[in-house]
Amino acid sequence: MKKAGIAALIVIALSTFSAVSPAQADQKSKCLKKQQQLEQTQAKLRQGYGEPQGNKLRAKRRKLQDYVSSKKCRRYS
């Protein structure tokens, strides 16, 4: 949770000093949050899991990977 707060503050600070619209700053914040969720999901997968939970985690990972690699987030990576 602390990382998400720090990331949001960084986005706000950067948007203040650059020519980034509020919509772009909001999208960048969403992309950073999804990237953090993806990293957390991958960490859970590495820890081990039962079959039903593994299926859910892999589905969540696919969804997050699709979002993070989408055109919306590509410019922020």
pLDDT band at 7 (very low <50, low <70, confident <90, very high): low
Residue 16 domain boundaries: 2-74
How many domains are there within the chain?
Answer: 1
CB distance 14 to 41 below 8 Å = no
Q: For residue 66, give Cα distances in angstroms to 38, 56, 72.
A: 10, 15, 10
The pLDDT tens digits of the residues spanning 9-56 come to 565 655 555 567 888 889 999 999 999 999 999 999 999 888 889 999
